[in-house]
């Protein structure tokens, strides 16, 4: 029974602590909203789309360099327009970074697959994409492909004097096939609308050899076109290799670094509350909020506590504390009412109900430190006495209940309201 009573008493005290300290503090606490000037992710993506061709050209130059190394293009705040926004000139807004492996992958993807080389006594080394009648031809010889045979190529069978192991063609005219004359046999007339084939005689120098890496190296324009055509979601695209930097990000070191000035018009900024969305570029931290943005910032709170000590007739003392708090807000648009005005309005309303008078009477109650001992004389039962000190715990619980009931009523008056809009 005593354990249950103690547990109930402690639970009540904890409830009062939450009601008096935690809940009012949370209801009155105001956290000032902080803002940052940022380049939104959408604006960054729009800038990359507008600069895609130029950035792709820089990727092509780095990918086709004699010794491919890592490359970075840093978009920095230019000297014009940013100072008015509080942004330092030269601040790195974003960086496009390609490692050596990334550039090699771009070069390989832009290359022409397959390919063979043919040594010609008159034309030097000629490169063809492949062999077979369905293989696309070399740009210099639009229809020319290479065909092989271990014994003799059927198209060259008209030359019965020699065996032939490969043939290249067809050519549109003798003017293109003539590069292979000399140690080669030209099959077909030069006129009459027939296509010409160049047949290689078995045993004569000039056998075809596959390209060393199986690829025909692309031109700078081919690499530029390839990178430009990639969708933003492709791992090799410009967007996939560009990350925001600003004041909160970091740059990736590279062997070759190019700085590219950006104007505020190309990358417009806006002011957003913190936390800033992922992908946005923070260019200035902790800036004033946009105009006409309502703010509620607690600037100052002053609390004054007055303690009054009263001497009771039985020798005990009673202390009464009265606390006055002043809270003011001085930033942005804010509710005109203060804690003091709201409290006074509620007191005025509740005073007429009689509850406030009851609370005032409760304040003047004296709780004795020693309980009385009452004697009960009786002729029939003899002299009896009741020592209320033995029931002190009961009076403690009773006193706690009275105080708790009054406190809950006061809490409702102050923080919940009674017909008054707060």
Angle between helices 52-63 and 41-50 (to 10 degrees): 70
Tell me the per-residue pLDDT of 219-235, one tens digit each, with 9 for 90 and over: 899 999 999 999 999 99
User: Which pLDDT belongs to residue 199?
Assistant: 76
User: Which span out of 64-78, 129-143, 200-214 was modeled with the highest average pLDDT?
Assistant: 64-78
Pair 319, 306: CB distance under 8 Å? no
Residue with more model confidence, 81 or 137: 81
Three-state SS for 218? Answer: coil
Angle in degrees, 0-180, between the axes of helices 392-411 and 2-17, rounded to the nearest 10: 20
Q: What is the pLDDT of residue 151?
A: 65
Distances (CA, A) of 134 to 9, 72, 129, 144, 145: 94, 41, 11, 10, 8
pTM over 0.85: no
Q: Which two tokens stand for residue 17?
A: 């602590």
So what's the pLDDT on residue 268? 93
The DSSP code sequence of 88-140 is PTT-EEEEEEE-HHHHHHHHHHHSEE--EEEEETTTEEEEES-BSTTSPPBTT
398 compared with 151, residue with greater pLDDT: 398
User: In the prediction, which pLDDT does 95 show?
Assistant: 96
Q: Are 104 and 65 in contact (CB under 8 A)?
A: no
Q: Which stretch, 216-220, 272-276, 294-298, has highest mean pLDDT?
A: 272-276
More confident residue, 96 or 112: 96
Contacts of residue 52, Cβ cutoff 8 Å, sequence gap at least 6: 228, 238
Residue 77 · residue 86 · CB < 8 Å: no
d(CA 113, CA 120): 23
């Amino acid at each position: 029974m005593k354990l249950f009573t103690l547990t109930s008493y402690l639970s009540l005290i904890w409830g009062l602590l939450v009601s008096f300290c935690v809940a009012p503090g949370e209801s009155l606490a105001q956290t000032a909203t902080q803002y940052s000037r940022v380049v939104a992710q959408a604006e960054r993506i729009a800038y990359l789309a507008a600069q895609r061709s130029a950035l792709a050209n820089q990727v092509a130059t780095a990918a086709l360099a004699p010794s491919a190394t890592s490359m970075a293009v840093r978009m920095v705040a230019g000297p014009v327009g940013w100072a008015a926004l509080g942004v330092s000139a030269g601040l790195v807004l974003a960086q496009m970074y390609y490692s050596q492996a990334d550039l090699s992958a771009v070069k390989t993807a832009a290359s022409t697959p397959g390919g063979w080389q043919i040594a010609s006594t008159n034309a030097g080394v000629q490169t063809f994409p492949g062999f077979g009648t369905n293989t696309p031809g070399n740009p210099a010889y639009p229809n020319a492909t290479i065909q092989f045979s271990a014994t003799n190529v059927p198209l060259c069978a008209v030359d019965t004097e020699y065996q032939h192991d490969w043939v290249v063609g067809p050519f549109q005219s003798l003017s293109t096939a003539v590069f292979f004359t000399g140690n080669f046999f030209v099959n077909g007339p030069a006129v009459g609308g027939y296509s010409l084939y160049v047949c290689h005689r078995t045993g004569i120098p000039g056998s075809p050899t596959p390209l060393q890496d199986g690829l025909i190296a692309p031109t700078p324009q081919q690499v530029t076109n390839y990178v430009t055509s990639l969708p933003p979601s492709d791992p090799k695209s410009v967007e996939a290799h560009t990350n925001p930097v600003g004041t909160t990000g970091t740059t990736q070191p590279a062997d070759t670094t190019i700085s590219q000035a950006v104007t505020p018009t190309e990358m417009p900024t806006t002011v957003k509350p913190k936390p800033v969305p992922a992908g946005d570029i923070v260019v200035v931290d902790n800036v004033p909020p946009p105009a006409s943005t309502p703010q509620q910032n607690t600037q100052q709170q002053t609390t004054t506590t007055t303690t009054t000590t009263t001497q009771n007739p039985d020798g005990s003392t009673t202390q009464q504390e009265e606390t006055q708090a002043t809270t003011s807000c001085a930033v942005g648009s804010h509710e005109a009412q203060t804690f003091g005005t709201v409290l006074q309005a509620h007191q005025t309303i509740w005073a007429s109900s009689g509850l406030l008078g009851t609370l005032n009477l409760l304040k003047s109650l004296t709780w004795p430190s020693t309980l009385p001992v009452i004697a009960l004389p009786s002729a029939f039962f003899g002299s009896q006495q009741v020592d209320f000190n033995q029931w002190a715990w009961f009076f403690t619980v009773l006193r706690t209940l009275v105080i708790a009931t009054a406190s809950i009523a006061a809490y409702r008056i102050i923080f919940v309201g009674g017909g008054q809009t707060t």
